[in-house]
Amino acid sequence: MPDGQETDQAPATARTRVGRPLLSLALASMMDEVHAHSGAVYLLAADEPVLEMAVMAGLPRAFSAPWERVGLGAPVPVADAVRERRLVWVGGEAEMARLYPRISVVLPYPFALAALPVATDSTAYGAIFVTWPGSHPPDLSERERTHLTAACGRLAARLARALQDSVPLLPEPDLLSTPSLAGAAGTLGTVESARMVARLPYGLCSLDLHGRICFANAAAAELIGAPVSELLGSLLWASVPWLNDPVYEDRYRAALLSQQSTSFVALRPPGDWLSFRLYPSTNGLSVRIARARAVAEMNRARRTPGEAPSRLVTISQLLSLAGALTEAVGVQDVVKLVADEIAPAVGSQALVVLGSRAGRLHVLGHHGYPDPRFVEQFNGLPLTERTPGTHALTTGVPAFFEDRQQLERLYPVREATPDGFAAWAYLPLIASGRPVGTVVLAYAEPHSFPADERAVLTSVGGLIAQALERAVLYDAKHHLAHGLQAALLPHSLPPLPGIEAAARYLPATQGMEIGGDFYDLVPVQGQAAAVIGDVQGHNVTAAGLMGQIRTAVRAYTTVGQPPEEVMRSTNRLLLDLGADLFASCLYLRLDPARGRAVMARAGHPPPLLRRPDGKVRVLDLAGGPLLGIDGAAVYQTTEVDLSPGSVLALYTDGLIESPGTDIEDALADLGTVLADAGDLPLDELADRLVESGALPRGRLDDVAVLLLRAER
């Protein structure tokens, strides 16, 4: 949403009881107006920043299984639409791959999509998306845009009235055609039409949107090798063992989503090749089945008897999780992603992520336990203890317990510490050939774990393990960087007579999160010295050099050097160190008794001065080049008035520089904030200035701010 815009979010519980299904009718009307063939309505959750799918139309909800619940910060169109308060348009397969690669991996089909916020001027209630077949033009027409925007506005207005009246909305079913299993006549028209189809020499099937068989003629039953009575009402790839392959179900999904005919060839054991041609419509598919010649290149490995591949929906969720886990940064990010995306998909209600340190169990994160104290009691447990968590972590062998009796039979100690759940899966996390932890999935009811589900959960453990290994390393680096930065910057600002001070430091959110920005405040013989600077780079070298410069400035100040000499001495020191890095610097000698300040500048952004009357001006001081360039450089000084009530704002370039932003405009904006908020307590003012320079996608550079106010 635009900066500075105050927006409330209405929870999904604020819904309206009406005589007709509000969401379903609004979605159906919108899709009809713009000739879309599928869509969904999301509502904001009541107690968390999450969008929950309320109604889907035109396609089975399984198509959107990975996005049933979407965090507002997730990189998906509906979240972007709500967060940025705009229409999001994805014009086709290539654009989806470019803008939303995680969705493209799961749904690599030609289709177009529009997502819009359902919101009034002040309140967001949710979002809607609609899709078109791949034949839709790459651009959204003005007519379509107008209809979609108006329809979302009308729905938002009705939800606003419902919220005002405090009347809940009843659950609504998804909008899908109801399959007819009454026979061929009900599916294909007249009885004579059904007889004609039955006489065709090739097979013909009719599938509903879920992929269930509504009709099959005799030729189709003969080719497939199953009687019509067994086929009706079943999924083609579930009822026929040699079609039980995600590749074939993928063709059905591709046909429905793109509304383009697709085909595939499958081998019916022992050696008959069959051709399947799928013709989609908005209420299902027609499938033509005929014999095909065997092609050597199409041969595939035979499955062992009884081996059943995973369902494609599960694979879709795994692909989505894999993409999400590549974006996880820290350990808690990994825990949250597993809790939000995998646990709901497999029916788990709670999870724990365990690791080890110094031969003891360590709880890295957990979710869903009513009493967190049950989980925390395992912190520090020796790995030699006989528990399912330690066993999975040390052996790398998964364990599945379908009920409490199974678990307590092997681990009787659990009888004394029940966690309130009824089934568990302990998944070892193996990365780089070694166990890095264990994920425990807990189920509220007894849960069987068939072979295919165990295989999927074990694969999930592998994905989580790789992400967790990266996350642990990142967290360690993150703590190291922040510890080093904290050690090099002053822990607190010393009290100064006649001067109030406040400072802020924020590391860059990209890269190592450690850099060369620094500040300091030094008491000196009834006066004070202030310095702020920036060593180029974001690494340990820059941070180390920054510490040396800060120490040198403090030393030169303490021995009584004037400002211009402090700058010259620091410049020579930097050259003598031979670091091949430059630094900007701004040095001030403050004399609050006289109400004056003497400044010297070395290539640093100009400070801002807010006078007691509230007017702000940029102090374009004379100065010299960056430190570390020219050993003979001279740094001129400038004396400025610092009357009581004046505020000096010193900062580094990370506060005002960003891609595509004009520096003069950024300075003007910063001056406006300082003018408007300059009378606030200095700590609040520092926060306000830092917030004014915040970027929507994070900081590319460090930010240091030092504020000085002459006391009245």
- Which tens digits make up the pLDDT trace of 383-416? 888 888 888 888 888 889 998 888 888 887 665 5
Exposure string of 575-588, with b = 16+ CB inside 10 Å and e = fewer, is: eeeebebbbbbbbb
The confidence score (pLDDT) of residue 181 equals: 39
Top-confidence residue, 266 or 612: 612
Residue 550: pLDDT band with limits 50, 70, 90? confident
Instruction: Considering only CA atoms, give the Rg of the chain.
Output: 33
pLDDT tens-place string over residues 60-85 = 887 887 788 888 888 899 999 999 99
Residue 622 forms beta bridges with which residues?
none
Average pLDDT over residues 135-162: 92
Environment class of residue 708 by beta-carbon count within 10 Å: exposed (0-12), middle (13-18) or buried (19+)? buried
Q: Please report the pLDDT score of residue 275 as a whole number.
A: 85
* pLDDT value of position 298: 36
pLDDT band for position 524 (50/70/90)?
A: confident
The neighbouring-strand residues paired with 400 are 425
Indicate the pLDDT class of residue 19, thresholds 50, 70 and 90: very low
Q: Is the pLDDT at 697 greater than 60, yes or no?
A: no
Amino acid present at 402:
E
Looking at residue 11, what is its pLDDT? Answer: 52
Tell me the C-alpha distance between 164 and 195, whole Å.
58
Alpha-helix runs per DSSP H in 182-310: 184-188, 191-198, 218-224, 228-231, 236-239, 246-258
Arithmetic mean of pLDDT, 318-329: 68
Q: Which CATH architecture has domain 489-710?
A: 4-Layer Sandwich (3.60)
528 vs 188, which has greater pLDDT?
A: 528
247-292 pLDDT per residue, tens: 777 788 888 888 888 888 888 888 788 888 888 887 888 898 888 7
Contact 84, 65 (CB under 8 A): no
Kindly report the CATH class assigned to 191-291: alpha beta
- Spatial separation of the C-alpha atoms in residues 68 and 515, rounded to whole Å: 40
**For residue 258, what is the DSSP state?**
H
- Matching residue, tokens 């269930």: 212
CATH of the domain spanning 22-165:
3.30.450.40
Q: 26-35, 114-123, 408-417, 597-606: which range is least confident on average?
A: 408-417
Give the position of tokens 């635009």: 2
More confident residue, 194 or 321: 321
Q: Report the pLDDT averaged over residues 528-551.
A: 82
Task: State percent of the chain over pLDDT 70.
Answer: 83
Cis peptide before 659 (omega within 30 of 0): no
pLDDT at 503 (0 to 100): 92
Q: What is the pLDDT of residues 203-259, one digit of tens each?
A: 888 888 888 888 888 888 888 888 888 888 888 877 788 887 777 777 888 888 888
The predicted pLDDT at position 12 comes to: 46
Of 36-40, 50-54, 181-185, 661-665, least confident by mean pLDDT is 181-185
Compute the distance between CA of residue 119 and CA of residue 495 in angstroms, rounded to an integer: 50
- What's the token pair of residue 679? 């009378």
3-class DSSP assignment, residue 343: coil
> 321-480, what's its fold?
Beta-Lactamase (3.30.450)
Which residues fall within 8 angstroms of residue 267, CB to CB, at 6 or more apart? Answer: 242, 273, 274, 294, 298, 299, 300
Region 642-652: what's the mean pLDDT?
92
* b/e 595-608 (16+ beta carbons within 10 angstroms → b): ebbbbbbbbbbbbb
Residue pair 246/315 in contact by the 8 Å Cβ criterion? yes
Token output for 70: 């979407």
Q: Is the pLDDT of residue 147 over 90?
A: yes
In one letter, which amino acid is 696?
A: P
pLDDT tens-place string over residues 648-660: 999 998 888 776 6
What tokens were used for 378? Answer: 């395992």
Task: Express as a percent the part of the chain with pLDDT over 90.
Answer: 26
- Alpha helix locations (H) across 489-558? 540-558
What's the rounded Cα separation, in Å, for the pair 537 and 596?
Answer: 34
On the question of pLDDT at 1 being above 70, the answer is no
Rounded-to-integer distance, Cα 125 and Cα 113, Å: 20
Residue spans per domain, the chain: 22-165, 191-291, 321-480, 489-710
Q: Please count the residues of the chain.
A: 712
Has residue 43 got a pLDDT over 90? Answer: yes
pTM: 0.47
**Secondary element (H or E) of residue 456:** helix 451-488
- Are 22-165 and 489-710 the same fold in CATH? no
The amino acid occupying position 608 is: L
CA distances for 86 relative to 1, 44, 78, angstroms: 8, 16, 10
103-107, 439-443, 500-504, range with the lowest pLDDT: 103-107
3-state secondary structure 288-317: EEEEECCCHHHCCCCCCCCCCCCCHHHHHH
pLDDT at 49 over 90: no
State yes or no: pLDDT of 136 exceeds 80: yes
Q: Determine contact, residues 175/54, Cβ cutoff 8 Å.
A: no
